[in-house]
Amino acid sequence: MPPHQRFFEQVSRYFDKAAPYTPYPKGLLEHIKYCNSVYHVAFPVRRDDGTVRVIHGWRAQHSTHRMPTKGGIRYAPQANEDEVTALAALMTYKCAIVDVPFGGAKGAVKIDASEFSEGELERITRRFTFELASKNFIGPGVDVPAPDYGTGPREMAWIVDTYMALEPKAIDGLGCVTGKPLAQGGIRGRLEATGLGVFFGVREACDVATDMSDRGLTPGLAGKTVVVQGLGNVGYHTAKFFQEAGAVLIGLAEREGAIHAPKGGLDVDAVVEHRGKTGSILNFPGATNLPSSDDALTLECDILAPCALESQITIDNVDRVRARIIAEGANGPVTADANERLLERNVLVLPDLYLNAGGVTVSYFEWIKNLSHVRFGRMGKRFEEASNRKILRAVEALTAQSFPADVLANVSVGAGERDLVNSGLEDTMVQGYHEIRELALRHAVDLRTAAYISAIDKIGRTYADRGIFP
C-alpha cells in the first residue's frame, strides 16, 4: 500500500477531524490516538512435508483505558503492523461508541490460510497463542482475541485449549477468547452477530424519513436494492438479513469475481450453494458475470455494503460508485479521501466503527457468560414461561374463551440465550445510531465524525474520572 494510503493514517485523519469538537487537551488526545504497544513475533512451524516455514504475527493493544483489551485475530497474506495498529485503534473507538467496557486490540498472522492443511493451521494457532501468553498478551482480564478474516470458531477453540493448558488454575480461562464453539463456552448468536448488527444499523438509518428523503429514497428497507461485497461470515449474514427484510439483493462480489441480477435479484443461500458445488459464485443461473470483483462496487443501487477488507472504495474509483447509502460492514473499506468525495455527493456513509460493532457487542456477552459461568436465560426462562401462562389463564377466565394450544405455547415461551443476545444487540445498535446521529446534527458533521466525537469523549471521560487528566 502506498504511503499516502497507510491504514493507520486514514484512521488518524478521521480522529483529527473529530478531536476539535471535544474539550480535551492536546496531550490527552495524543494519548488516545496512538497505540500503546505492538508485539511482533516470528516463529518456525514444521509443515506436513517436513519443511520449516517462519511465520510472522502481530498483536497490538491500542488503548488500556479499559481492561481487558479486545480485538480479533486475522489470517491474511497482506497482514502488516500498520494494518494491525489501525484495526486496534478502530476497536478502541468501536467499543467506546457502543459502551462495551474494553480497550481496543487486534492481531494478525501473515499467512494465506487456504495454503495450509488443518494440522498446519492448528500448529500455527497454538504456537501463536503460546507466544502471546509468554508476553502477557492474552488472558480474560488482559487481552481477549476473537475471530476475524480467515479465522473462526475452530481457531478460537485451539486458542482457548492452549491457554487453558498453559494456565490450568485459571478458573475464568474460557474468557481468554470469544467466538468459540458452544461446547467450548461460546454463545448462541455470535456467528451472525456482526451481520445482524449491520442489518440493525442500516434499518435504523433507513427508518429516518428526513434522511431518506434527502437522498431521494423512501423510508424502510423493503424494495431497496442492495449490493454486498464479500460472502464470508459478515457479508453472508448481512445479505441474508437484508433479503429477509424485503430488500432486493442485486449484486454479490467475492475474490473470484462478481455477479449481477438487476431484475429478479439473487437468493444468497442459492448463491452459497452454487459456490459450494462449483467453487465460484460466477455463472450463477439468472445472473450476469461482471469482469472483476471491483465492478460490483460501481453498480447502481440504493445500498452498497462492502463487507470484505479495507481500502475498497478509494479516490481512484469513488466517482464511479453509484450507491446512495454505503454500509461499512468491513473495517476501513472507504479511504479518507474517498469518504470526503462521497460526503460532497450527499451519500449517506454508515461508518465501520459503529456499523460493524455487533461482533464485539456479542463477544462482550460471551465474555460475561464465561466469567459468570451461567448460560443466559438459564435462571429465568422457565419462570418467565410460567408467569406468561398465568397471565394467559387469567385472560381466559375473564373472557370465558380458551386459547388454542399452539397459540398458548407460542405466546408463553420464555426468552432463551439467542433471544436475549439478539435483543441486547438490537438495543445496542438502535441506541448507538441515534446517539451518533444526534451528535451529527448538533455539530453539523457527518456520521463518521460524530462517531469519533462520541468515542473520544467517552474515552476522555474515563481518564478524567480516574483523575489522570483534567
Q: Listing from the earlier edge strand, what are the strands of the sheet with 225-229?
A: 288-290, 257-260, 248-254, 225-229, 301-306, 323-327, 348-350
Catalytic annotation present for 106: yes
d(CA 349, CA 324): 9
Q: Which of 440, 249, 430, 267 is nearest to 357 (CA)?
A: 430
Which stretch of DSSP H or E encloses residue 342? helix 336-344
* Gap between the Cα atoms of 130 and 245, Å rounded: 44
Q: How far apart are CA 271 and CA 294, in angstroms?
A: 18
Q: Give DSSP secondary structure letters for 105-158.
A: EEEEE-S-GGGS-HHHHHHHHHHHHHHHHHTT--BTTTEE--B-TT--HHHHHH
| Beta carbons of 468 and 34 less than 8 angstroms apart | no
Cβ proximity of 58 and 84 under 8 Å: yes
The region that residue 373 occupies, defined by phi over 0 for left and psi between -120 and 50 for alpha, beta otherwise, is left
Q: Which of 17, 106, 240, 381 is catalytic?
A: 106
Q: What is the largest CA-CA distance in the chain?
A: 79
β-strand partners of 251: 227, 260
DSSP, collapsed to helix, strand or coil, labels residue 350 as: strand
Q: 210 CB contacts (<8 Å, ≥6 apart)?
A: none
Q: Are 335 and 312 in contact (CB under 8 A)?
A: no
All cell numbers assigned to 269: 443461500
Catalytic residues: 106
